[in-house]
Chain A
Amino acid sequence: MPIFGGYTPTAAGLPAIRALAQDRIDIEAAETLTFTFEVLSEAAIAALPAALHPPFPTYCSLVVRRHGDGPYGAFTTAELRLHARATNHYVGYCLGAFSDNESACAWLRNAYGLPCTVAETVSLRKRHYGIEARVVAGGRTLLDAVQATPGFISGNDILYVQNSNLAALDGVPTLIAEEFEYALRDAKRGAAAFHGLDIAAFGAPTLTVSNHLPSTWTAGSWSYMPVRFVIDPTRPAMAGTRKIGQPAAA
């Protein structure tokens, strides 16, 4: 049997779900810049809830997404996700997130349990030297990274893994399935260059970055989907998954 995560959460400090997302929200113009890197395994396993398995090697993705429109206006998010498996499903377990739009940030916290914090700057910009992502909060630069020398690839070559956010649902720690659909128009791949990354500020004080992979950028539509299921973080996902509208598994 694969290894399970070692983290047993409490509700304190978790985003409190007010109402799980029930409606699909379509963003017509979204750009996503992703930095993927391996992290040392011992701390990564310890950071995952017991419902989830770590893959090997353990790895994270830092995802910066600029939403050009939507019910809360334009906004940009930056999320650090530690990748895992819920049974045999790929999930990106969110450790920390920032947004530059207070309303969008509140929506993502309240409807999907995203541990999102408002920051002064969360940006994704094309520069002459590459595609740049920045996060500044409390006057400190938490992320300053560039996809250098990007070259075109096919959107078919890129895979986005569904998200899993730890939140308090009715006062109980719960993994919320944040699912999405997307249709990509453009895609690029390039080398990742970090000028600054405060990984502790993204909720991962114990993780150690060990091996960078190429960065990707895409443009297209992005749709936030209604929450279909939640998982008890303390039990294996096979037994602890509950579909919305159904009672908890025995």
Chain B
Amino acid sequence: MRFGIFYEISVPRPWGPETERQVYANCIEQCVLADQLGFDHVWAVEHHFLEEYSHCPAPEIFLATVAAKTQQIRVGHGINVCVPEINHPIRIAERSAVLDLVSNGRLDVGTGRSATWTELGGFRANPDLTKATWAEIVRALPKMWTQERYAHDGVCFSMPERAVIPKPYQKPHPPLWVAVTSPGTEIDAAEHGIGALGLTFNDFAEQERRVKAYRKVIVNCEPAGAINDQVATVNFLFCHEDNKIGQQTGLRLAGTFGYAAAQLVSAREVYASPSYASFGLLPQVRRASAAPGDAPAPPPGMAVGDPKHITEVLKGWEATGVDGVNFLLNALETVPQQEVLDSLRLFAKEVMPAFKKTGAHARARVAAE
């Protein structure tokens, strides 16, 4: 079982001259501490135009800074938006290779296609096509990284033969992942032989079902590149000696996140297309039948509370067969920085030791079933 931290880099209004700089500084400080405490991953999203929710359009720059200040922790670009209007695939390959080099081979490359009209519409991308462009780009990237020269004549992009350089430090290339929000994307991940980077808050049974489906399909995958047989899920983290304080703060964190997420315009909301069957993160923290004055329902299995409670919750996630959990630590700075750092320290001291060597067993059990 591996633990990571996950950044949207949300910035609350009002936006003064120091606000965005301070939020970035806080995130980097958390990453440096997480490295020292033994966390395995830092993931950072790529989002555009998502006011307050995410001010992180250039995660490769954030992650390069993190890599320069840390020793062990892996840096995850989670995700590269594989939509040509937003990122040309050659640039994805080039940027990833450079980041892998400067981080001494600590890069994980996430892929995805954006779930919001705010982003897709902003770049005048066609939501109907993003699944296809993702599939085309994710198969091209490993070839750009591993072939001396590469040419491509596809549907979403083409290029005459060129040397896409530099090459990544990791051989044959950094692990590839895909963001999983819509149901069924875990199957796409398995069919391409890449990791499933879960970004929705499923319940235990649903997560276990998805892991099983993934493990079953990946056995016969048509790999895009080197196989990355991993499933990770996402969670909130707030760890405190007092379980009540931990849960209250954690619920505030989750509620704030859900509130900010609701202000986005999802593709599902405005652009009728089979390409976007779900909202992404949002529905997991909203009850459709409730009135606006009702408190949001907490997602099941949240890692908030005291170390004992969080350990129990994470044992539940481990039993679903996931290989790792990535934690959101804050939303709109609703948790003071010192409390975030204290939460990380307490988690590392009291919770992490219970998981260091047990992940493989749970995964083997699920595989056997």
Residues of chain A touching chain B, judged by Cβ–Cβ distance below 8 Å, are 1-3, 36, 38, 53, 55-57, 59, 83, 85-90, 153-154, 156-159, 161, 177, 187, 189, 211, 213-214, 216, 228-229, 231, 237-243, 249
Contact = CB atoms under 8 A, between A and B. Distances in A.
Given A89-B262, A153-B273, A237-B292, A3 B286 contact: no
Contact of B274 (A38, A154, A241): A154
A37 B215 CA distance: 43
Given A55-B265, A56-B264, A214-B271, A87 B118 contact: no
Contacts of B259: 2, 87-88
A231 B291 CA distance: 10
A53 B13 CA distance: 13
Given A57-B118, A156-B277, A159-B269, A243 B291 contact: yes
Q: Is chain B's interface secondary structure helix, strand, loop, or mixed overall?
A: loop
A241 B293 contact: yes
B292 A238 contact: yes
B263 interface: yes
A214 B296 contact: no
B275 to A, nearest CB: 9
- Range class of the B interface residue count: 35 or more
A237 B50 CA distance: 22
A160 to B, nearest CB: 10
Contact of A85 (B122, B262, B270): B262
A56 B293 contact: no
Contacts, number: 102
Interface of B: 12-13, 49-52, 117-118, 121-122, 258-265, 268-274, 276-277, 282, 285-286, 290-294, 296, 332
A142 to B, nearest CB: 23
Contacts of B273: 153, 157, 189
Contact of B292 (A57, A86, A214): A86
A53 B293 contact: no
Contacts of B332: 1
A131 B285 CA distance: 37
A238 B51 CA distance: 21
B176 to A, nearest CB: 29
Nearest to A231: B292
A55 B293 contact: no
B293 A161 contact: no
Contacts of A154: 274
B262 to A, nearest CB: 3
Q: Which 8 A-B pairs have the closest CB atoms?
A: A241-B293, A88-B262, A86-B292, A237-B292, A87-B292, A229-B291, A157-B272, A158-B272
B339 to A, nearest CB: 19
Contacts of A189: 272-273
Contacts of B271: 213-214
Given A57-B121, A88-B261, 15 more contacts: A1-B12, A3-B13, A36-B270, A86-B292, A89-B292, A157-B272, A158-B272, A159-B269, A159-B272, A187-B272, A189-B273, A214-B272, A228-B291, A229-B292, A238-B293
A198 to B, nearest CB: 23
A140 B231 CA distance: 60
A241 B270 contact: no
